[in-house]
Structure 1
């Protein structure tokens, strides 16, 4: 008793040594984190995972400096969240169940230095013999599954790591969770085994669910992780009771009237919930308690899981050192969207179980594992305003103006909202706190509002009636169109700027020194009335544009470079000229098809709509759009001006090039050393082949370079012949017969 008193007095003295402002910040952070943790597990989160990580990181930093604040009650020492007591205001909660072994969390790393520091600690503790198992970190709901004598006993959420929610009832609806384990001679079914994994919606299933909800007028799910957790934790037993009660009432009413209508509505809701549960998949990644069975390696445990019939990823890889860990992390940082479900990082584990035991655990996380977290792709921020942009085809697109926020490694202030109907469907109001997503190079998108943070000051967005750039009344191009457009196509300055930027882009004439600012400057200086004037630019006209002149009024280096690049652009192939005309629906694929089939601008102009539609890769919609475009006088004038300026209007047919790839479809993926992506496509098309962007059973060859990703895996799965760059050169030089001899054809094999 005396010892306890002395300890308490000493601890109190240590806490009193902490500056008051630090103690106050620690208390505020602890309370804020706990509130967000409760929302994350039992309600709707109001901040993103990355913002939660930032709060936790700050709290850990304070406790690292002032260790007396690191008490067992601190959020840094907790795992998950306690299970809500059934009947205590938590209608959706399930009964609690204790895990056989505690489910720990993982410490996080955010930089290469963090990973190196962790690896150095491992080496100090166990020497240099550690090997590392790396695997993508699935962004799902952590679950604990117990099998006794091979039969499913319990399915539970993580909860606080010791006690989770018993959601076993819902397992019957999830095909990915086997009711019984199978066994092999090497891995017989143990008497008791506790499996750890993540339940998650595959990307395609999540998109299908949201499409269905959109059709039904229901709010869209914000992300796969939270929606998957909500679906798996829903009280399906109560839904079934409600359905049975509704059916009894309908039967008593002779299956007519209001009772029957109610039953049909409840049945539809039940069936939708059942379907969504079955859309979940499970990725198993660990073993807790095990009786009558042990493993020497973590990777061996994954082999056992697979042998028992449990779903595991084929991407975990055992690597020998820290450099290989970094390579693995970098690879999945570039290919995180090729996996088929959401990941938010890479988990790195010491593979040897005896070394894991030496390293041990803290109160919340094992010391033998760490999670490297990628920059966030979803964050929350304030929507300050909704404005509209007028695109190159006159389409008026709303976009959100937000408080600047860092997402996916870059600072974002604007995000697309597509059209007025989409704004309404997402339920976004000006002044909302919104969920923002940016995946890689994809344009940032507002997913929806955080309803819990509304305070009544928000207001609806009203689509303008007139073009903000030229004042022309806005209207749909035709009856039934979702989009509204500015019909002042030729003279609207916003449309012209967008078209100039587009024709100078990589899919168009590919003109360096003619970016967005240059387009604005050319229009404002009046030297370009429409895009037909671009190739008539000369030094005298360009001197009237301040952006391209120096203090003495002479052309800058960029000005001279623009003129040189315009001259080179005149020799671009016909398909690039077609793309640069900004004909609605005509992108690179359709333009290549038209240029390849008809060969000249004159032939395309003279072709009937039916002839255009019959061209492989074109079809009636694109054909109608092409015909309509060339029927406009000032459009014809653009083509005339370009022709007179020397722009090439016909592709020269190379009769010396044998059409050895006629009828073949070739997919190129990854980076090739001697070919750009466009060069590779041109080489295929010149020999009569089709260059496709997706792999199917109809694909003839897949050419793989560095970082080939999922298309390579798909080719192996479908047994499509795979060529490396040397094999691609054989295909081009000697044809498919010789290429087949050097191609790789096999089924996909799981990684080690």
Structure 2
């Protein structure tokens, strides 16, 4: 391939990847499989490396993340990014309407939009090329986060027209990404993000763009800074123009002739918002006519032509009865609040996270307090605040212990961490939690070895580490309560079958800190065998795109321990698989039962977590989305499926229950 042919191929690949990315991230209608997209991306990366003279700052390859930054540079917005005034009820909206009509020179109408709970950003395009992205900051000056925003797949790096403009948008983290991120943090026993908004903001302010790139962020664009200057006459037309340019615009906005239609729209979303795959905290209402926006103008803080209706917070008050500590498999000490049962966002909550000692002290949380509870992102129960005005004097202050509640070893706080840890490797709680993790569905997936059975085996001293699971004897198991001939036979068969699991499951099961299921699969694919991974150096590991220094250090430290070497050697002798085989194309196609299908999950599941089912669907070729639409091929519904099930039935979408799903994927 000569230089001219290389340039033509690079241009062709960029156009194709831009088109495929737009269909995947913006239109939610993929044109090609992930495998085909990845193959084209790898070809483009190779060609750009071979022909560096053709590299471009807006090539699709930049989405993987560039080099870490030292700091963020300040950037001035072309037009201030002002905050909005708030409305809390229908009367507030009618008062806003009255003021707007009194100040306008003619009739006015409105555009109502979902208020995305994320981080406001500005995107600057020059000649259609994305050149700069910034946070809102103080409204006048923000921080340049261009490299991080380039990793957001739904932000086009090239518009469909060669125009100059500054676009405003809200970057957010969808529910499934938030759950996955906190699952990884839980696996690593790190403090979880409190809500999707904090997670999105924290991701965009990472100095290492590769971290932002792994967080699966999204965006909805909602305004053009200089809309009238480019000939637009209404906000609704501005939204349509942005969509034509290839920018992602929320499809659920509505043009309203008057404020009563706005109020109807607001009320319709009070319940429907829980069905969205992302967080909204209200509705934004704007005068649609741009010339009337100019007439109405601004106060010192906000525009007179727009207002934000804020949804009432789903917070409830209950009594904190106790604070108990748990010891995780890496020794992290986690305080949990035990509460009087209370309904929050449709479910009964009896426990809530207190996160760590610093937050308990900061909120002055005491046993017996009246506390406000909410679900962070409508998912994770947490204590929001303490109602200290309601104290009776009988409340008890809580003090974190200085020694482990399980083994009495002294607790330590490692440098840079906010949590206390037990660093005794022989701590019974850590050993027990490590065993529970090893047999879990996402690790070695040993049927019949649930948490209670592991605790029973551990308390009877039949197991001390994971290798002991493969040495269990039938006669010892039969002596345990609720262990009959059939259950013992099934258990031993499941343990034996787990020896054939692929290497990535074993790696994840070992519980190496910072190595989640995705990282374990990546390591297994890269090195192929346990032996090669054990020999890997820091340099070998950090050369892998998604492996940072923190994870690499944890991996090399783990394998340098004599105890780890001894354990892996024993597992090898016991017959566990230590290799990773990539399935043949024929086998992969045969197993892709959800290939090219869009699947929605809803309701309460019994045997699967939502994350586990999503991973299974994706492993079998499907794409999981958060809402039912005409593009949905299948709905998998648990108990209390609600409005998503109703909508699926209206649209004629095929519906499976959990039992049908289990039957199909076996």
TM-score by length of 2: 0.48
TM-score by length of 1: 0.43
